[in-house]
Structures are given as C-alpha cells and as structure tokens.
C-alpha cells in the first residue's frame, strides 16, 4: 500500500481505482471487526438479543448513541470501553478510506511538470 513520492508522476486512473478498492476493502474489514466485537460483547455481557446487540454496536460505532440501557456493572463497563474504542475506530476507518483520495488531490497540486 505505497503511494507515489513527490517527484513521481500521478498514478494512472486504473491504478488509483485499484488502490481505492484495496483501501475500501481494508476499511470494510475494520468495520466488520468492530461491529462483530460490539455485537458479541453486547450479546454476552449486555445480555441483549443478537439483533439488538448488532443494532447497539452499529449505533455506538457510528456515534449515534446507545439504544438500550445496560443493567449490570460489567455491561456498563463494556459499553463504556466499546464507546471509547468506537470513537477512535470510526475516525481511523474514515482516514483509511479517504487517504488515497486526499493523497491524489495533494499530489496533483504538487507534481512538477517537465
């Protein structure tokens, strides 16, 4: 997953599209891992049904907020730590997905024409 350097030419469109696909796939894997982690945790620790656990994990991961009340102390601790993880994960996943686009724009602005 290497970007071209400052003095190199801008990547061709097929190369850029392939790169976007790789970064999008990596972002989807991170989303899948994060959602699975939350779903399993809310199901076993928060004692929610599977669909409610998935819903809660998705809502927390995207920053929308909780949809179910956590009863026990362990469930509240899991929910707190998952919310902290989700804040960092959401920003990181967004950065991974958009990094090829941002790099391409900045590279086009800085490339030297010969």
pLDDT in tens, 32-88: 999 999 999 999 999 999 999 999 999 999 989 889 999 999 999 999 999 999 999
Q: Provide the domain limits for residue 47.
A: 13-106
Please report whether residue 29 resides in a domain. Answer: yes
Q: For residue 96, what are its two tokens?
A: 């991974």
What's the CA gap between 48 and 15, in Å, rounded? 45
What's the CA gap between 68 and 6, in Å, rounded? 50
pTM here is 0.84
The total domain count for the chain is 1
What CATH number is attached to the domain comprising 48?
1.10.287
Please report whether residue 54 resides in a domain. Answer: yes
What's the CA gap between 88 and 82, in Å, rounded? 10
Please report whether residue 6 resides in a domain. Answer: no
Please report whether residue 40 resides in a domain. Answer: yes
The CB density around residue 28, as the number of other CB atoms within 10 Å, is 12
Please report whether residue 60 resides in a domain. Answer: yes
Please report whether residue 3 resides in a domain. Answer: no
Please report whether residue 92 resides in a domain. Answer: yes
């Amino acid at each position: 997953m290497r970007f071209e350097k400052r003095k190199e030419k801008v990547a061709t469109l097929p190369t850029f599209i392939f790169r976007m696909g790789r970064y999008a796939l990596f972002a989807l894997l991170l989303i899948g891992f994060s959602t699975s982690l939350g779903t399993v945790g809310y199901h076993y620790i928060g004692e929610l049904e599977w669909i409610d656990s998935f819903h809660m994990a998705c809502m927390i991961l995207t920053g929308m907020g909780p949809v179910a009340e956590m009863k026990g102390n362990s469930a509240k601790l899991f929910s707190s730590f998952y919310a902290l993880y989700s804040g960092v994960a959401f920003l990181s996943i967004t950065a991974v997905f958009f990094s090829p686009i941002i790099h391409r724009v900045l590279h086009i602005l800085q490339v030297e024409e010969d």
